[in-house]
Amino acid sequence: MSSDGETRKERGFPLFVSTLALLVAFTALLAVAFKLNSKGDAATPTAAAPKAATAAPAETEKVSLVIKTDEEHGKLGPEGTWHDAYLPADFTVHPGATVEVTVRNYDEASHTFTSAGLGTNQMIAGGSATKPATTTFTFTAPTKKGSYGWHCVMPCDPWAMTHSGFMKGSVQVA
Ligand SMILES: [Cu+2]
């Protein structure tokens, strides 16, 4: 490596030019940034839009239930007999949530999902063992946490209608 004066002088000029170029580039960048910034200020109303979007979305919780009959071995009772049942009969939702319930009924008879506490009295259409009928309904979960009972008011399986976990159950708001 040579370190004489001539080499240093030769090196000095390109260094000066590149420094100048860098300075010009930096100034240009600053100018663009400033321009963008002032543009952003002008567009303040549009910049507020995403804020409104994040506050808006309502929380929707989806619940899927199936109804099967005693003949389809819906649910075995503790006394050893099969019964009509909502599967599952109990589920949990969050306070204040919009709950979308989808029920696939494999029973030819119709049932209901009735609950004064949840504000629901939904008829569930009859289907068949091979082609279930699908009913979708929505309710708003109470804001107060707790256990909310529901039951089926259609005369179906008398034992199931009086036993929790079959044609009645509870929704936990937690
Ligand atoms: Cu029923």
pLDDT over threshold 90, residue 157: yes
CA separation (Å) from 102 to 12, 62, 69, 122, 123? 78, 8, 18, 11, 12
Q: How high is the pLDDT of residue 59?
A: 78
Same domain, 74 and 99: yes
Q: How high is the pLDDT of residue 14?
A: 55
Q: How far apart are CA 39 and CA 33, in angstroms?
A: 10
Same domain, 120 and 43: no
Q: How high is the pLDDT of residue 54?
A: 52
Q: Bridge partners of 60?
A: 98
Same domain, 69 and 108: yes
Same domain, 77 and 46: no
Which of 16, 33, 52 represents a domain boundary (last residue)?
52
Same domain, 67 and 46: no
pLDDT over threshold 70, residue 90: yes
Q: How high is the pLDDT of residue 108?
A: 98
How remote is the CA of residue 160 from the centroid of ligand 1, in Å? 8
Which of 30, 52, 74 represents a domain boundary (last residue)?
52
How remote is the CA of residue 72 from the centroid of ligand 1, in Å? 14
101 contacts 63 by C-beta, under 8 angstroms: yes
Q: Number of folded domains in the chain? A: 2
Q: What is the DSSP letter of 96?
A: T
Same domain, 46 and 92: no
How remote is the CA of residue 113 from the centroid of ligand 1, in Å? 8
Q: Give the range of the structural domain holding residue 62, as residue numbers without chain letter.
A: 58-173
Same domain, 97 and 167: yes
Q: How high is the pLDDT of residue 20?
A: 39
Q: What is the DSSP letter of 110?
A: -
Same domain, 17 and 72: no
Given pLDDT bands bounded at 50, 70 and 90, which one contains residue 83? very high
Q: Bridge partners of 124?
A: 111
CATH number at residue 96: 2.60.40.420
Using one digit for the tens of pLDDT, what is the confidence trace for 103-137? 999 999 999 999 999 999 999 999 999 999 999 99
How remote is the CA of residue 107 from the centroid of ligand 1, in Å? 9
Same domain, 77 and 142: yes
Instruction: State pTM to two decimals.
Output: 0.67
Same domain, 104 and 90: yes
Residues having C-beta closer than 5 Å to ion ligand 1: 111, 152, 154, 156, 167
Q: Is 75 helix (H, G, I), strand (E, B) or coil?
A: strand
Q: How high is the pLDDT of residue 55?
A: 47
Strands of the chain (E only): list them. Answer: 60-68, 75-76, 82-83, 85-87, 91-93, 98-105, 111-115, 120-124, 133-140, 146-151, 168-173
Number of residues assigned to the chain: 174
How remote is the CA of residue 69 from the centroid of ligand 1, in Å? 9
How remote is the CA of residue 132 from the centroid of ligand 1, in Å? 15
Same domain, 84 and 151: yes
How remote is the CA of residue 104 from the centroid of ligand 1, in Å? 13
How remote is the CA of residue 170 from the centroid of ligand 1, in Å? 15
Same domain, 141 and 73: yes
